[in-house]
Amino acid sequence: MKGGVSSLGVIATSAIFAIMVLISLSSLTGIILLNYDLLKDSLKLISEEAKHVKGDLKILSMVILPGNRSLEALILNDGAGKIRVADFEKIDLILVYREGEAVRAEWLPYDPDESLGTGWKPLNITYGGCEELINPAPPDFSSGIWDSGEVLAIRAWTESAIEEPVKLIMVSPRGVESC
């Protein structure tokens, strides 16, 4: 009798072990499939974002203002996609200029209130020389979108005297930069 009970115990233990293995494998398979779906969705989102990265921000004109500490520029969104005014603080603006014999490259923070010693702020957004009609930005730039084909006018300033030659580099939150 002892041998029979022992055999049943081994069979029961083996069955329980087999069930646990099956449950573990099915859970592992579920996790793998879930992660695959997440990966697939992430790749799809990245692919859609990459479509917006095409295009350029083109510096159309730049004028150094009297006093040589500030400039105004017109920048065309040439197919770089929609850039929300709320994302302007994420735009990198780098000013490269001569100061005496030295060449300086200075990152300028977004400062719509002009409260800092260096910075930049938007002045207006136009389309074809007229006020924009699609997703317009109000004068205080509290909302709106800088759409493809529109021109953003900005003022940038530094604490140093800006001398020619001057280069302005603007990089959007999606990585599109000026050329």
* CA atoms of 140 and 122, how far apart (whole Å): 9
pLDDT band at 11 (very low <50, low <70, confident <90, very high): confident
* Cα–Cα distance measured from residue 63 to residue 83, given in angstroms and rounded to the nearest whole number: 24
The confidence score (pLDDT) of residue 53 equals 58
The answer to whether the pTM exceeds 0.75 is: no
- Whether residue 151 contacts residue 126, with contact meaning beta carbons closer than 8 Å, is answered with yes
CA 59/CA 124 separation, integer angstroms: 15
For residue 172, pLDDT beyond 70: yes
* CB contact at 8 A, 73 and 48: no
Dump strand ranges (E) for 56-174: 56-64, 70-78, 83-84, 92-99, 102-108, 119-127, 130-131, 145-146, 151-157, 163-171
Average pLDDT value over all residues in the chain: 86
Residue 35 has pLDDT above 90, yes or no: no
Give the Cα separation of 25 and 31 in Å (integer).
10
Closest to 148 in 3D by CA, of 59, 83, 73: 83
Report the percentage of the chain scoring pLDDT > 70: 85
Q: What count of other Cβ atoms lies within 10 Å of the Cβ of residue 73?
A: 22
Q: 174 vs 47, which has greater pLDDT?
A: 174
